Structure formats: C-alpha cells, structure tokens
Chains A and B, each alone.
Chain A
Amino acid sequence: MPEKVAVNISKELYEKAKKFVEESGGEFKSVEEFIEFVLREVLEEGGEESVYTPEEEEEIKRRLRALGYL
C-alpha cells in the first residue's frame, strides 16, 4: 500500500463527492478512492509527461543526438 497523506478540502465539496460516490453504484468505494481517481485523471491527462523516466529520456536523447535531431 503506498504511503498516504491527509489533505483538507472544503466540507461542501466533500459532501458533493460523498453524494457522487453513493450514487456511483459501487464504482467508487469511498470518497478517498474517488478523489484519487479524479486527481490521477487530471494530473496524468495528456499522459505524455509520465511515460519516460528522466534517465530513459536522456538515453533516448543521446541516441537522437546522433541522428542529428537534437
């Protein structure tokens, strides 16, 4: 299980999220799970940033420099 941290959000938003979870028909088991899902969607939107690690990107760039692209 990855390490967890606590975050404060407004009560109003929490209640809305809770209602959404209850109406999700079991898709989300908890508000925590729902918020994790939404944040992941937003932060990984575009996906492109998270594919290569910095080391992998450097390795590819090293090769591409030899192709005259970089």
Chain B
Amino acid sequence: MRVFILGIDSAEPSLVFGPWREELPTISQLMEEGAWGKVASTVPPITCPAWPSAFSGCNPGRFGLYDLRYRRKGTYTDFGIVNSRMVRVPRLWNVLSERGMRSVVAFVPVTYPPEPIEGCMVASFLTPSVRSQFTYPPELREEVLKVVGGPSSYIIDVYDYRRRDPRDLYRELRAKTDHDFKVIAHLLRTKPWDLFVAVVMSVDRAQHTLWKFFDKDHPRYVDDPELREGLLDLHRQIDEWLAKVMDLLPRDTMVIVASDHGAKRMYHRINVNEILASEGLLKLREVPDRPTGLAELDRRGLIDWSKTVAFALGAYVAQVFVNLEGREPRGVVKPGEEYEAVREQVADLLKSVRGPDGERLDTRVFMREEAYRGEMVDVMPDLTVYFDNLHYGANEAVGFGSPYSLETAKGPDDSNHGEYGMLVIRDPEGRLSGELRGAKLEDVAPTVLRALGLEPPPGLDGRSLI
C-alpha cells in the first residue's frame, strides 16, 4: 500500500461537499468510493499550525506555531517568520525515513528549509526566493526549474494580490495551479515513493479576493458575470489535474484529499487592540491618527508596557497575550489569580463586542489550556478569539477610531478562515466509507501510518480513522 495526499489549502467543505460537488467529478468519485467529511482544523484555523498538525498528528502546543510568524524570544513585537526547523515533532516523512521508506513532499507549508529525508522535497511558499535552496536533495532544484521553464518561470506565490485587478489575479492563480501540478506530475513520474504529499495554495489566495463574486449573501457582493465562477473554476481546475495525476498512481494507492481549514464570508474585522486600549488594558502613550500596526507602535515607543495588561495579534482570529510577569520582557500581571482574572476580563470584554449595527455576535473564546497541550504551550497565545465564529476577522492595528474596519491597513478581504477543513479518503482495501464524523486534522498522520502498515507512535493527539 502507498498513500497519495493532495492538500487543497483552504478548500471549504460546505462548498466542495455541497453545491459544487457535481462540478468536481474527480473528488465526487473519490467520495462515492471512499469516505468523506469535514475535519476540525487547529486553533487557530491557519495554514502554518494546521498542516504541521495534520502531518505530525500533534496539536500545535507540541510544536509551538500559532501563525505564519512568531514573537522572537524576549520581545513583544519582533516577529520572525516560521520555518521547518521549528516543527520539532516528527512529521510523516521523518517517521518513514527512519524506517527506510520513501516520501515525496511537494509545496507543503512549513518545509523551508527542506530537510534531508528518504525521498525528496520541494519547499513551499515561505521559500525566500527562487535563488534559495528550496529542494532536497539540492540537485532536484535544477530539475524542478527545468520542468516549469527556467528560474524566471518559477512561481513561489502570488504577489500583492489584494490590490490588483481580480481578473489578473484569477489568471495568475490558474497559472500557479498549472505550475504546481506540472511539478507534481513530474515527481510522480520520476521518483520512487511510499508516501506522496503535495499541497496547492491557489484556492486559499482566491477565497480572500474572489469570494464576493459568487456569494450573494456577502455584504460586498459584486455581480460580475466574468468572475461569478472564478473561485469555482479554480476548484474545477484542481479537480481536472487530480484526475490526471491519479492516472499516474499505482492501483494499491490510498488517495486522500484534504484541506487544512475552510473559508467563510467575512463581514468586518474587529480592531482588538483598539478595544483593549479603550478599556485601559493596553496602555498607549499617544493614539495614532492613522491605522498603525502593533510592531510600529512598539518601535515608536507608543506602548506603555509597564501599564499594559494584555495585547492582541492576529488577522483572522484575535490572539491575546497577557503581559505576564516572568514571561514577558516587562510583564506586570502576576501569575495565578491575577493572570486568571485578566483572562476572564478580556474574554468577557471581547465576547461582549457587538456588530456595527448592534447585532449580537456568536463569539468563541479558547483559553490556552483548552486549545493546546504539550511542551511548547508556553509560547502560545493566552486566549484565542473567533469573532462571530469567524464571520468577523481581527485586526491588530490601532488608529481607526472605531472598533470595526473594512478596508483595513492589511488590505481588503472577502473571506475569513473556517474552523473545518475537508477530508476525503479512498482506501483501496475499502475500510472506510460514507460520511466521516468527528474527524480532526491531527487524525491524518496516524491514519496514513496505519495505512502504510506502521503503528502510530505513542503520544500523538490524533487517532487513526482506520
């Protein structure tokens, strides 16, 4: 038995399993011949914790990622970009390598810099540039560049996409999907493998900018016949490519199609730090007259940390850190009762936030220990907040003069991430069928190991679905 996994970053289960099911014949057929269902993403439902969780079987508290970026030790707002070495728990390809089994890993988030494994690896969108060493083994780089037509044709990601003409963006995302699948097909044809994992990002990029063209309930819905099916078309394109690459798979291959999180229409963003500041929990020496990010406020000395008890990061969810004594550089909140009281206060405050027209929001708060377990829990946010269960995003900038923002400092955005991804598994031995219920993203790794005849290592948070 071998396992082939296609990750479609951000594919929304209620669309793929719902109105778009008939439009996606390859995925539909896999559903009919296997098992399918929504899969609970990580807290937060964001790419960089989510895929490592799926492929390690561990919750993010075990490896300490909560976003694309992280706070450098001993600082409040000096942000680094996450990389593969921060995922200290073994991922599927590490487990297989130890047993002499081969993996091909293509475009999987948080694999830069690529690491030596049995098999080969092409890193994902956190590759700094086309000049970087983004493959293992290093000589694979030239081969991959040749497949796409040379270094000038290699696409790491789309650029500045929020502010561009959506038609251009749509064309570029189609090109990116073709580009990635050309590499995937090449690797399938030429490399030996027991496990093949590839993740495509184009749907994620498209949800943020093309959602308003198909969703008539979106507050910023635009009726544009050319773009109405843009997002669906990108799904169709992936479905067609999936059919082509499945022709290259041996018969005894388990096929898994998964997304790391879903997507849902976004109404507004909540300016969390603006709210914390208005309640005196975040102490500003001066309120900026234009939207200013937390790092810039800190750099300009506008935050009085000695009087600040909590501050928030986050674009899609709010990630609140308490200014805890002994942990933060200038912590003022004492551990124990005082810490708990601050968390309760912040939770009550953020749960009480209403929409711009006074509407009640279905806001969910996850305390750190509810969401995470493991040796890296200390670096994780103290509270994670899903405003209106993710129909409202978050914004860490201050200076809007309002708790809400639409055209934000970060650019416009149509959709937020959803708390469920999709999961389809076709097992050649037929052990799984029908609708999967209660699956979690971290179940993917133990399921794959079991399919490959390996016993999942003890202590994983996920459990095998077979």
A positions within 8 Å CB-CB of B: 46-49, 51-53, 56-57, 59-61, 63-70
- A66 CA / B159 CA spacing, docked (Å): 7
Residue of A nearest to B72 (CB): A49
Residue of B nearest to A68 (CB): B410
Q: When the two chains form their complex, are residues B67 and A60 in contact, meaning their CB atoms are under 8 A apart?
A: no
Q: When the two chains form their complex, are residues B68 and A57 in contact, meaning their CB atoms are under 8 A apart?
A: no
Residue of A nearest to B412 (CB): A68
B68 partner residues in chain A, CB cutoff 8 A: 64, 67, 69
A70 partner residues in chain B, CB cutoff 8 A: 69, 79, 293, 410
A51 partner residues in chain B, CB cutoff 8 A: 83, 85, 112-113
Segment at the interface with A among B125-133, B182-190, B276-284, B360-368: B125-133
Interface string of B157-189 (1 = CB under 8 A from A): 111111100000000000000000000000000
A65 partner residues in chain B, CB cutoff 8 A: 410
Q: Name the one of B69, B128, B408 contacting A59, with C-beta atoms under 8 angstroms.
A: B128
A46 partner residues in chain B, CB cutoff 8 A: 73, 86
- A52 CA / B134 CA spacing, docked (Å): 12
Q: How far is the CB of A28 from chain B (nearest CB, A)?
A: 24
Given contacts A56-B132, A64-B68, A65-B410, contact A48 B79 (CB under 8 A): no
Chain A CB within 8 A of B20 CB: no
Q: Name the one of B67, B70, B80, B208 contacting A68, with C-beta atoms under 8 angstroms.
A: B208
Q: When the two chains form their complex, are residues A59 and B410 in contact, meaning their CB atoms are under 8 A apart?
A: no
Given contacts A48-B82, A48-B85, contact A68 B157 (CB under 8 A): no
Q: How far is the CB of A68 from chain B (nearest CB, A)?
A: 4
Q: When the two chains form their complex, are residues B81 and A57 in contact, meaning their CB atoms are under 8 A apart?
A: yes
30 residue pairs of the A-B complex, CB under 8 angstroms, read A46-B73, A48-B83, A49-B80, A51-B83, A51-B113, A52-B80, A52-B81, A52-B128, A53-B128, A56-B129, A56-B132, A57-B81, A57-B128, A60-B128, A63-B125, A63-B156, A65-B410, A66-B159, A66-B160, A66-B411, A68-B208, A68-B315, A68-B408, A68-B410, A68-B413, A69-B68, A69-B69, A69-B410, A70-B79, A70-B410
Q: How many chain B residues touch the partner (CB < 8 A)?
A: 36
Q: How far is the CB of A29 from chain B (nearest CB, A)?
A: 25
Interface of B is mostly: loop
Q: When the two chains form their complex, are residues B83 and A52 in contact, meaning their CB atoms are under 8 A apart?
A: yes
A60 partner residues in chain B, CB cutoff 8 A: 81, 126, 128
Most A-side CB within 10 Å, residue of B72, B112, B128, B408: B128
Q: When the two chains form their complex, are residues B85 and A69 in contact, meaning their CB atoms are under 8 A apart?
A: no
Q: When the two chains form their complex, are residues A63 and B159 in contact, meaning their CB atoms are under 8 A apart?
A: yes
- A52 CA / B413 CA spacing, docked (Å): 28
Q: Name the one of B67, B128, B163, B205 contacting A69, with C-beta atoms under 8 angstroms.
A: B67
Given contacts A52-B128, A66-B162, A69-B68, contact A47 B85 (CB under 8 A): yes
- A56 CA / B156 CA spacing, docked (Å): 13
The residues in B between 403 and 418 inclusive whose CB is less than 8 angstroms from any CB of A are 408, 410-411, 413
Q: How far is the CB of B63 from chain A (nearest CB, A)?
A: 11
Q: Name the one of A47, A61, A66, A68 contacting B81, with C-beta atoms under 8 angstroms.
A: A61
Q: How far is the CB of A41 from chain B (nearest CB, A)?
A: 14
A66 partner residues in chain B, CB cutoff 8 A: 158-163, 411
The residues in B between 319 and 349 inclusive whose CB is less than 8 angstroms from any CB of A are none
- List 4 A-B pairs, minimum CB-CB distance, nearest first: A56-B128, A68-B410, A47-B85, A51-B83
Q: How far is the CB of B88 from chain A (nearest CB, A)?
A: 9
B82 partner residues in chain A, CB cutoff 8 A: 48
A69 partner residues in chain B, CB cutoff 8 A: 67-69, 315, 410
Q: How far is the CB of B385 from chain A (nearest CB, A)?
A: 17
B293 partner residues in chain A, CB cutoff 8 A: 70
Residue of B nearest to A60 (CB): B81
Q: How far is the CB of A55 from chain B (nearest CB, A)?
A: 8
- Beyond the given pairs A47-B85, A52-B83, 9 more chain A to chain B contacts, judged by CB atoms under 8 angstroms and listed by A's residue number, are A47-B86, A48-B70, A48-B83, A59-B128, A65-B410, A66-B411, A67-B161, A68-B411, A69-B69
B315 partner residues in chain A, CB cutoff 8 A: 68-69
